[in-house]
Amino acid sequence: KQEVTQIPAALSVPEGENLVLNCSFTDSAIYNLQWFRQDPGKGLTSLLLIQSSQREQTSGRLNASLDKSSGRSTLYIAASQPGDSATYLCAVRSSNSNSGYALNFGKGTSLLVTP
Amino acid sequence: NAGVMQNPRHLVRRRGQEARLRCSPMKGHSHVYWYRQLPEEGLKFMVYLQKENIIDESGMPKERFSAEFPKEGPSILRIQQVVRGDSAAYFCASSPPGQGQNQPQHFGDGTRLSIL
């Protein structure tokens, strides 16, 4: 059974800092990994999708890497801003399961960027 | 708004009543997924549907829960005889047809279900 863990559970940084969020998963047989942002009381916004054959994806100030063999992904946020404050979720789509359709989520990292 | 639309945003039911949650996928999307987020827990997969077909319901409780995605109209997640433990946020996601496993899932804003 795929287990997804995110460290740290919470993070507070001053504005302008670069930061790294970590995600690990137990089964390396995956189709892809997706990073989301969730604002309080809101839905999920997809940030980046990395296919299993890819090593990284970039969008603006965000860069996500994937090391499938070691079961790790990182989300790098450059020059953080207060508007980046949210919960960041990592989700893995396993290929070694009855269904390759479900996303397996971590519990998230709650990020606070202070002015 | 071309995104995934869920309604209602908030739903309050008394124990024993029925709850119906609706989801309209993004335009052009034919795959729908339902997830549940319990307080202090991560999102858990419930069911995956295509038009008129349930493809995977491995995450759905065996009793009281059902889902459908008819040829016309939104997908419906139905919870019969609700109990306090059903209080959660229910999220719907959709993805386009073709190579489903490689496509990103796009989420709606969720329905917050509260059971009195």
For A76, other C-beta atoms within 10 Å of its C-beta total 15
What is the predicted pLDDT for the residue at B103?
Answer: 81
Cβ atoms of residues A76 and A60 within 8 Å: no
Residues in A 70-99 with any Cβ partner in B closer than 8 A: 89, 91, 93, 95, 98-99
Distance between B17 CA and the closest CA of chain A, angstroms: 24
Identify the segments of chain A with pLDDT beneath 50.
none
Residue A64 contacts B, CB cutoff 8 Å: no
Distance between B82 CA and the closest CA of chain A, angstroms: 22
Q: Which residue has the higher pLDDT, B60 or B99?
A: B60
The chain B residue lying nearest A49, using CA atoms, is B104
Helix, strand, or coil here: B30?
coil
**pLDDT tier at B104, thresholds 50, 70, 90:** confident
CA distance linking residue A6 with residue A114, whole number of Å: 22
Residue A40 contacts B, CB cutoff 8 Å: no
User: Ramachandran region of residue A108, left (φ > 0), alpha (ψ -120 to 50) or beta?
Assistant: left
Helix, strand, or coil here: A70?
coil
To probe the interface with A, which of B102, B103, B109, B114 has the most A CB atoms within 10 Å? B102
State the alpha helices, DSSP H only, in chain B: none
What is the predicted pLDDT for the residue at B23?
Answer: 97
Contact A89 B43 (CB under 8 A): yes
| Peptide bond just before B8 cis, omega within 30 deg | yes
3-state helix, strand, coil in chain A (%, to 5): 5, 60, 40
**pLDDT tier at B100, thresholds 50, 70, 90:** low
In 3D, which of A43, A40, A15, A27 has the Cα closest to residue A93? A27
CA distance linking residue A7 with residue A41, whole number of Å: 22
The chain A residue lying nearest B59, using CA atoms, is A102
**pLDDT tier at B102, thresholds 50, 70, 90:** confident
In 3D, which of B90, B89, B112, B114 has the Cα closest to residue B15? B114
Contact B56 A98 (CB under 8 A): yes
